[in-house]
Amino acid sequence: MKLYDCQMAPNPRRVRVFLAEKGVDIPKTEVSIIEGENLKPEYLAVNPRGLLPTLELDDGNRIDETIAICRYIEETQPEPNLMGRDALEKAQIESWQRHMEFDGLNPTGEMFRNSFDPFKNRGLPGLENVQAIPELAARGKAGVERFYERLEQRLSQSTYIAGERYTVADITALCVVDFASFAKMGIPEANTNTKRWHADVSSRPSAKA
């Protein structure tokens, strides 16, 4: 297998952390989004959508989309379980994982792409000649603020995002928070439950992936 990766981007990092939790080591090929390598013919031959990550299997099959890759790894390497053991837990973890994507990752990406100069002509992922819109950066920032409010509320009720154990929902949330912090929107000072959780999940060896 081979993983097409990008060290600076949150979605590839989600897969790296997932793999690290599983103890699975896969060769990686770095594709720089900042440099636009994901839009070059070489990578578009791998993934015509120009998005990362992509997992290439030994038989030549390719899987894109972060959670689809994680699902494949979960099915082939079941332990430690990160995506649920029964129908209810699987649904709950998937629901919280989606919350972290929609409430957190999407507005963070909107804020970053529409304010970061190298993306001024790449305002949407995987596309060229799409102008960034500065007003959307402000909308994204407001979305990140709402995300932090909801995250703090959830973590005042639960040790981890989807319950009382670490799951893929925590991986997504960790990568969102760290990416938002990189974009200068770190955890608000008053959010003590979020800080407790972030210190916990950041101490795991997989967080260095």
| Overall number of domains in the chain | 2
The answer to whether residues 145 and 43 belong to one domain is: no
pLDDT of residue 198: 98
pLDDT of residue 22: 98
The answer to whether residues 47 and 136 belong to one domain is: no
The residue among 133, 163, 139, 149 whose CA lies nearest residue 194 is 149
As a whole-number percent, the residues of the chain with pLDDT over 90 amount to 100
pLDDT of residue 145: 98
Burial of residue 81 (number of CB atoms within 10 Å: 0-12, 13-18, 19+): middle
Distances (CA, A) of 175 to 35, 97, 130, 186, 196: 21, 12, 26, 12, 16
For residue 42, is it within any domain?
yes
Mean pLDDT of all residues in 77-84: 98
pLDDT of residue 57: 98
The answer to whether residues 45 and 147 belong to one domain is: no
The answer to whether residues 56 and 156 belong to one domain is: no
For residue 44, is it within any domain?
yes
Which of 49, 76, 103 is the endpoint of a domain? 76
- Structural domain containing residue 187: 87-208
Mean pLDDT of all residues in 22-34: 97
The answer to whether residues 97 and 184 belong to one domain is: yes
The answer to whether residues 124 and 188 belong to one domain is: yes
For residue 63, is it within any domain?
yes
Residue that has been written with the tokens 């967080």 in this structure: 207
